[in-house]
């Protein structure tokens, strides 16, 4: 089967994109390491909401805090996003679709009483972990 993307994307690009990890990326692992060092315990790669096929990278169940680590390219980071020139319409649609799904996830989670913390891949792990820790502590003391 030939797809539209295979007609306009180079072999090198396809090979590079296929090697991109979707779980346990370096950024995720670094964040989890700092969170664990802060004494926080969590679950990884869980779906916080039943019936919603969207997996959070780090989940603090009792506090109802879900952390998503977003890649700058894949989620259209306002600081580091790049727009490929090859197959531009495909990538624009893909990235904007990811952003739309992220906003829908945030809305659904909030409606179910969850707090979503989004971390960009370019963020310093210690700074992001402090933000997550503060959110978890605030939720624990509020409830």
Phi then psi for 24, rounded to 5 degrees?
55, 45
Tens-place pLDDT, residues 14-32:
555 555 556 789 999 999 9
Residue 10 maps to a domain: no
pTM over 0.85: no
115-120 and 65-70: which strand pairing? Answer: parallel
Domain that holds residue 123: 21-142
Residue 6 maps to a domain: no
Tens-place pLDDT, residues 116-126:
999 999 999 99
Higher pLDDT, 1 or 80: 80
Residue 3 maps to a domain: no
Is-contact 66 116, C-beta < 8 A?
A: yes
Residue 80 maps to a domain: yes
Is-contact 89 138, C-beta < 8 A?
A: no
DSSP at 118: E
For residue 84, the model assigns a pLDDT of 85
Number of domains in the chain: 1
DSSP bridge partners of 70: 120
Tens-place pLDDT, residues 35-87:
999 999 999 999 999 988 999 999 999 999 999 999 999 999 999 878 888 88
Residue 101 maps to a domain: yes
Residue 95 maps to a domain: yes
Residues 6+ positions from 26 with CB-CB distance below 8 Å:
none
Q: Output the 3-class SS for 36-50.
A: HHCCCCCEEEECCCC
Phi then psi for 57, rounded to 5 degrees?
-75, -35
Average pLDDT, the chain: 88
Residue 8 maps to a domain: no
The length of the chain is 143
CATH code for position 29: 3.40.960.10
Residue 29 maps to a domain: yes
Is-contact 114 48, C-beta < 8 A?
A: yes
For residue 5, the model assigns a pLDDT of 45
């Amino acid at each position: 089967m030939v797809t539209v993307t295979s007609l306009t994307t180079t072999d090198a690009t396809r090979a590079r994109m296929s090697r991109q990890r979707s779980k346990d990326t370096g950024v995720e692992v670094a964040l989890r390491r700092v969170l664990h060092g802060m004494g926080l315990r969590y679950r990884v790669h869980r779906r916080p909401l039943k019936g919603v096929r969207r997996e959070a990278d780090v989940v603090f169940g009792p506090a109802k805090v879900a952390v998503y680590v977003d890649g700058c390219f894949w989620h259209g980071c306002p600081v580091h996003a790049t727009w490929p020139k090859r197959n531009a319409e495909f990538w624009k649609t893909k990235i904007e679709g990811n952003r739309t799904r992220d906003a829908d996830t945030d809305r659904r989670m909030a409606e179910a009483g969850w707090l979503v913390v989004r971390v960009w891949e370019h963020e310093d792990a210690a700074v992001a972990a402090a933000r997550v820790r503060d959110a978890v502590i605030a939720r624990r003391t509020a409830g």
